[in-house]
Amino acid sequence: MNLARQLAERSTALRYEDLPAEAVYWSKVAVLDTLGVTLAGTVEEASRIVKEIIGLHANDGPSLIFGTNRRASCLDAALVNGTAAHVLDFDNTARHMGGHVSAVMVPALIAAGEAFGSSGRDLLLAHVAGFEIAARLGRGVNPYHSKKGWHPTWTLGVFAVTAACARLLKLSVAETETALAMSTSLAGGTKAAHGTYTKSLHAGQCARNGLMATLLARKGFTANPDAFEHKQGFFNVFNGPGNYDAARILDGWDDSLDIVTPGASYKQYPCCYSTHAAIDATFELVRQHGPFDAGAVARVDSWTSAFGLLHTDRPSPNSALEAKFSVQYCVALALLRGKVALEDFEDDAYRDPAIRSLLPRIHAAPYTGKQFLPEDPFDAEVKVTLTDGRVFAAKVDRPYGRTSDNPIAPEKLKAKFENCALRVLTPAAVARVSRTIDSFEKVASVRDFTMLLEPTAAGVSDVRRAMEHSPS
């Protein structure tokens, strides 16, 4: 039996009633976190350009374009909102997938849910299904796939979106098999795009492509069911013979769901995850010995993984977006300001004279303190040498939020959501959205829920209406 069929059978068999409470909880967290960073991302230039190119001038569809009062086709909404979800690089990731998982799924699921009358419970189940499929495929192709230069957010995320949307729209096993096989031809994206708007477009295009595969399969479109294993199929083209292990994909399928263990990784800082452990280590130095003045610092040594340095060793970032992928810039922020926030990656913030003066004295190198796990290279050490000869150092085994057993506190995640969402919504609207997601399984209509996301804040009656006639 081909892999697409086996994945389709397992995904289709998932039932909400059988989900552990932890899976439902983490899916709610994913929806909250993704909506927050997406709303914040709608005001970014990359999002504006995509909306302009799509030509959204009228309410000609069922699905909300976040940050506006306009609605469009579900495919256009998935593209625009998916781009916004990833543009700040503040969205969650999945360890085994090796990329950003909910930013590609949630925009597509909400857009499809609005168009086809889905409920909150339908969406939560679909998110679990998509998460599992992408994580499983990642086990079979990573770390080689990612190290080769593919961006798993799109190359593997497209299967997350496809499986999730297929489950949301209740496709049959055969239809889901076709959609997954079709998606091997809709995967793409290389890491050369890191530090540019194109990286966020990967997420938007992924959201659109996965949903499109689902809609096409639903109408009888065809695809090669052997598209994963074929000699010119996904595994051999994207990884090459001998560089993947298909058996790992299905091994232990009935063990804990990936969304529960190890779970998604959530970000405290709006920059590349490969910089986060170094930021945490620097904050520890600030707590113990700071604050630091740039003139008093003779040298800073930052050790992170060689894998992460491939895209974060940027000693002199030339744009706000490049700064998100500069471990030197992020360490400088943490050291001098004691914080790393959204505004530090906006406009000309990267040109701050104090930060620029310190950058030449920050040296990034591979961390050799211990052997990294290939799929989890996120340890770091930072050492600060002052001009008076004093030396301070701190190590971090992994940043907070990296796995479900090392989580960011719920109140901090809600604070992050509020900080992001307030860029578009009123405080009252932000509070209503947050409360509704707490009971998202009771939301009867995704379409009614998105009314709360429109910039003109909805009233309490709309929240109640969204939760009426909830499934038993």
Could you tell me the CATH number of the domain that includes residue 141? Answer: 1.10.4100.10
Which of 265, 287, 310 delimits the end of a domain? 265
In a domain, 217, yes or no: yes
- Asked if residue 99 and residue 243 are part of one domain, the reply reads yes
- Asked if residue 260 and residue 349 are part of one domain, the reply reads no
pLDDT in tens, 339-379: 998 999 988 999 999 999 999 999 999 987 554 444 445 78
Q: Domain count for the chain, please give it.
A: 2
- Asked if residue 142 and residue 161 are part of one domain, the reply reads yes
- Asked if residue 295 and residue 205 are part of one domain, the reply reads no
pLDDT, residue 402, reads 74
- Asked if residue 294 and residue 232 are part of one domain, the reply reads no
- Asked if residue 353 and residue 323 are part of one domain, the reply reads yes
Which of 396, 416, 449 delimits the end of a domain? 396
Q: From the CB of residue 45, how many other CB atoms can be counted at a distance below 10 Å? A: 11
What Å distances lie between residue 391 and 217, 333, 384, CA to CA?
61, 19, 6
- Asked if residue 182 and residue 331 are part of one domain, the reply reads no
Alpha helices in 42-119 (DSSP H): 45-54, 74-87, 102-116
Give the C-alpha separation, 211 to 224, whole Å.
18
Give the C-alpha separation, 443 to 124, whole Å.
11
pLDDT in tens, 29-86: 999 999 999 999 999 999 999 999 988 766 789 999 999 999 999 999 999 999 999 9
Backbone angles phi, psi at 385, to 5 degrees: -110, 120
pTM beyond 0.85: yes
Q: Domain of 299?
A: 273-396
pLDDT band at 321 (very low <50, low <70, confident <90, very high): confident
Question: Do the beta carbons of residue 99 and residue 160 sit within 8 Å?
Answer: no
- Asked if residue 278 and residue 227 are part of one domain, the reply reads no
Residue 311 is part of a domain; what is its CATH number? 3.30.1330.120
- Mean pLDDT (the chain, rounded): 92
| Statement: residue 459 has pLDDT above 60 | no
The residue among 135, 107, 114, 93 whose CA lies nearest residue 50 is 107
Which of 231, 246, 265 delimits the end of a domain? 265
pLDDT in tens, 112-126: 999 999 999 999 999
Question: Hey, what amino acid is at 69?
Answer: N
The residue among 313, 316, 342, 334 whose CA lies nearest residue 325 is 313
